[in-house]
A and B are shown apart, each in its own frame.
Chain A
Amino acid sequence: MTNTRGSLSIQNVSLSYGKAEKRVLALDGISFEVRSNQFTVIVGPSGCGKSSLLYIAAGLLEASAGGVTASGRLVEAPGADRGMVFQSYTLFPWLTVRDNIGYGLRRKSMPAAEREAIVARYLDEVGLTAFAGHYPKQLSGGMMQRVAIARALANDPDILLMDEPFGALDSQTRHSMQKLLLRVWEQSQKTVAFVTHDIDEAILLGDRVIVMTARPGKVKADIEINIPRPRAPEIELESEFISLKRRILNELRGEIDEDH
């Protein structure tokens, strides 16, 4: 177990829900370590509990057994050290884009001048400076997720948890969001745990892809992605990418066939 800031350790995590004979085992003894500054992607068939695993790491859901440590500390409750971007749109509708990004900093009682400088930087980073005064309702889905990413990063968490953040977007918007995330992450180099069911997305973004089994979710494969950075979506046509994709697809195929 590493003890450094930004490390994430999943230790024998199980999750079950429901009562008595209707009890369902969703996660079955998951363990893996995420090094500081590593971009880890978790893929798996739908219903395998990959999102639940992220909620457990965030402290939003309690594991039935096992535990998670973040930066060496046992996770017992949610906290600002673990930022999260959700699949659903979770911007605060009553706050403007600017105030959404500054929300966490305001909670920390950061002086206004300092806060505004950080907000301005992240507005620029996600290309939404012109929309600073808009309310979420006035934005497209892609713009809202850009704000959600900026809001999480502006708060400077040690670990960023991303639960299918681009799952609800059309494919064109999704591609531009992936490019944006690559650029932002390659600068900030934060620990990221990213859940998706899109294999291309997993290989493009990740340093490593963890493949989960169908329910009950277990770790099926743990694959290093050694494609050099900076990466661009064009790598999806390269042979290395394609062979990785084949490997992950093969790991997943058994799971999906069993499921349907």
Chain B
Amino acid sequence: MNGKRNLVRSFTTPFGDVPAPAAFIAATTVWVAVLGTWAVATYGGYVADMFLPVPDAVIRRAWKLASDGTLFVHLWSSVEVVLLGFTVSAAIAVPLGLYMGTYKIVQAALEPLVNFIRYLPVTSLVPLFILWIGIGIGQRITVIFFGTFFSQLIMISDEARAVSRDLVNASYTLGTTRREAVWHVIFPAALPGIINTLRVTMGWAWTYLVVAELVAANSGLGFISLKAMRGFQVDTIFLAIFLIGLLGLITDMGFRLMRRWLCPWAA
């Protein structure tokens, strides 16, 4: 009785901790409710299956596409584009953002241009990219790069700029040179924030991937989704949406693990 009251109390306390099993049950309940509503709406015949497929139709579709291998072709096509576009973007944005946050002159030089490009909707550039690069994988990678790079750069430079001056000062009094301070002090101090930035922008990369695939592509989850719309195969659309969500969840978990592994001190 007392235990139950404590539990209710911990649920209703702002920022109160909740036992792990309770958190698990809460999350499962929401999933079951969503899937249950879906099942009732479709099996109950409340919604036409042209608009909302029955759950087992999605599973059968997944099985069918998986057994002839096309599912994996399209899955890999999407993953490949996201990974390439995101990696190229991060590989430039991390060091450049670090210098931009550290050295005011680099900030002064880059920030006006970067902010101009950052607020351009990437979608407005897509026709240009198609004209320049065509509709191959290069075009989709370019869309992802443009969608993530400039914001990554600004966010990472903010992380670097937020590093405590006294931390840098302390390192100087211990014999660190000004040049060493960037990689020996500012980088490790900003690393948890940098990983968070990468995690957030990875979500955007998935968004721009689908945009790119819907506009012009001949493979990928966005592509099969668009093709399915033309053939009224709503189950395929659901499958594609589900897989994109699942991949997003997996990459998000990957970044969480990476942060825990690289920055155990910030946990």
Chain A residues at the B interface, C-beta cutoff of 8 Å? 55, 58-60, 77-80, 82-84, 86, 88, 90, 92-95, 103-104, 107-108, 135-137, 148, 151-152, 155, 157, 161
Q: Tell me the minimal C-beta distance from A242 to chain B in angstroms.
A: 36
Contact A80 to B167, CB < 8 A, known contacts A92-B185, A92-B188, A94-B188: no
A92 touching B189 by the CB < 8 A rule?
A: yes
Interface residues on B, range: 20 to 34
- Beyond A78-B169, A161-B173: 19 further Cβ-contacts under 8 Å? A55-B169, A58-B173, A60-B172, A77-B172, A78-B173, A80-B175, A84-B170, A86-B166, A86-B169, A88-B166, A90-B170, A92-B170, A93-B189, A94-B189, A104-B174, A107-B174, A107-B180, A107-B184, A136-B265
Q: Is B251 an interface residue (CB 8 A)?
A: no
A78 touching B172 by the CB < 8 A rule?
A: yes
Q: Tell me the minimal C-beta distance from B187 to chain A in angstroms.
A: 10
Q: Is B176 an interface residue (CB 8 A)?
A: yes
User: CB-CB < 8 A to B266: which residues of A?
Assistant: 93-94, 137
Closest to A60 in B: B169
Q: Is B263 an interface residue (CB 8 A)?
A: yes
The interface centre, meaning the residue of A88, A92, A104, A161 with most chain B CB atoms within 10 A of its CB, is A92
- How distant is the Cα of A155 from the Cα of B176 in the complex, in angstroms? 12
A83 touching B174 by the CB < 8 A rule?
A: yes
User: CB-CB < 8 A to A95: which residues of B?
Assistant: 265
Q: Tell me the minimal C-beta distance from A62 to chain B in angstroms.
A: 13
Interface residues of B in 159-208 (CB under 8 A from A): 164, 166-167, 169-176, 180, 184-185, 188-189, 191
Identify 14 residue pairs between A and B in the complex whose beta-carbon atoms are under 8 Å apart, listed by A's number. A60-B169, A60-B173, A78-B169, A80-B173, A83-B173, A84-B170, A88-B166, A90-B166, A92-B188, A92-B189, A93-B266, A94-B188, A94-B189, A157-B173
B263 touching A84 by the CB < 8 A rule?
A: no
Q: Tell me the minimal C-beta distance from B239 to chain A in angstroms.
A: 43
Q: Tell me the minimal C-beta distance from A187 to chain B in angstroms.
A: 21
The interface centre, meaning the residue of B167, B175, B189, B263 with most chain A CB atoms within 10 A of its CB, is B175
The interface centre, meaning the residue of B170, B263, B264 with most chain A CB atoms within 10 A of its CB, is B170
A82 touching B173 by the CB < 8 A rule?
A: yes
- How distant is the Cα of A198 from the Cα of B12 in the complex, in angstroms? 44
Among candidates B170, B180, B264, residue contacting A86 with C-beta atoms closer than 8 Å:
B170
Q: Tell me the minimal C-beta distance from A146 to chain B in angstroms.
A: 15
Sort A-B residue pairs by CB-CB distance and give the 8 closest, nearest first. A80-B175, A78-B172, A104-B174, A90-B170, A84-B173, A135-B265, A107-B175, A94-B188
Interface residues of B in 126-173 (CB under 8 A from A): 164, 166-167, 169-173
- How distant is the Cα of A119 from the Cα of B164 in the complex, in angstroms? 25
A137 touching B265 by the CB < 8 A rule?
A: yes
Closest to A137 in B: B265
Closest to A80 in B: B175
- How distant is the Cα of A60 from the Cα of B172 in the complex, in angstroms? 8
Q: Tell me the minimal C-beta distance from B100 to chain A in angstroms.
A: 21
User: CB-CB < 8 A to A80: which residues of B?
Assistant: 173-175
Contact A107 to B176, CB < 8 A, known contacts A92-B185, A92-B189, A94-B191: yes
Closest to B191 in A: A94
- How distant is the Cα of A107 from the Cα of B83 in the complex, in angstroms? 37
User: CB-CB < 8 A to A148: which residues of B?
Assistant: 170
B265 touching A94 by the CB < 8 A rule?
A: yes
User: CB-CB < 8 A to A155: which residues of B?
Assistant: 174-175
Closest to A90 in B: B170
User: CB-CB < 8 A to A93: which residues of B?
Assistant: 189, 265-266
- How distant is the Cα of A83 from the Cα of B191 in the complex, in angstroms? 26
- How distant is the Cα of A94 from the Cα of B173 in the complex, in angstroms? 18
The interface centre, meaning the residue of B166, B176, B191, B264 with most chain A CB atoms within 10 A of its CB, is B166
- How distant is the Cα of A100 from the Cα of B167 in the complex, in angstroms? 12
- How distant is the Cα of A59 from the Cα of B265 in the complex, in angstroms? 30
Contact A103 to B174, CB < 8 A, known contacts A78-B169, A92-B188: yes
User: CB-CB < 8 A to B176: which residues of A?
Assistant: 107
- How distant is the Cα of A104 from the Cα of B174 in the complex, in angstroms? 5
User: CB-CB < 8 A to B164: which residues of A?
Assistant: 88, 90
User: CB-CB < 8 A to A90: which residues of B?
Assistant: 164, 166-167, 169-170
- How distant is the Cα of A155 from the Cα of B188 in the complex, in angstroms? 21
- How distant is the Cα of A90 from the Cα of B169 in the complex, in angstroms? 9
Q: Tell me the minimal C-beta distance from B258 to chain A in angstroms.
A: 15
- How distant is the Cα of A88 from the Cα of B166 in the complex, in angstroms? 8
- How distant is the Cα of A18 from the Cα of B32 in the complex, in angstroms? 63
Closest to B265 in A: A135
- How distant is the Cα of A93 from the Cα of B265 in the complex, in angstroms? 7
User: CB-CB < 8 A to B185: which residues of A?
Assistant: 92
Closest to B185 in A: A92
Q: Tell me the minimal C-beta distance from B262 to chain A in angstroms.
A: 9
User: CB-CB < 8 A to A161: which residues of B?
Assistant: 173
Q: Tell me the minimal C-beta distance from B155 to chain A in angstroms.
A: 20
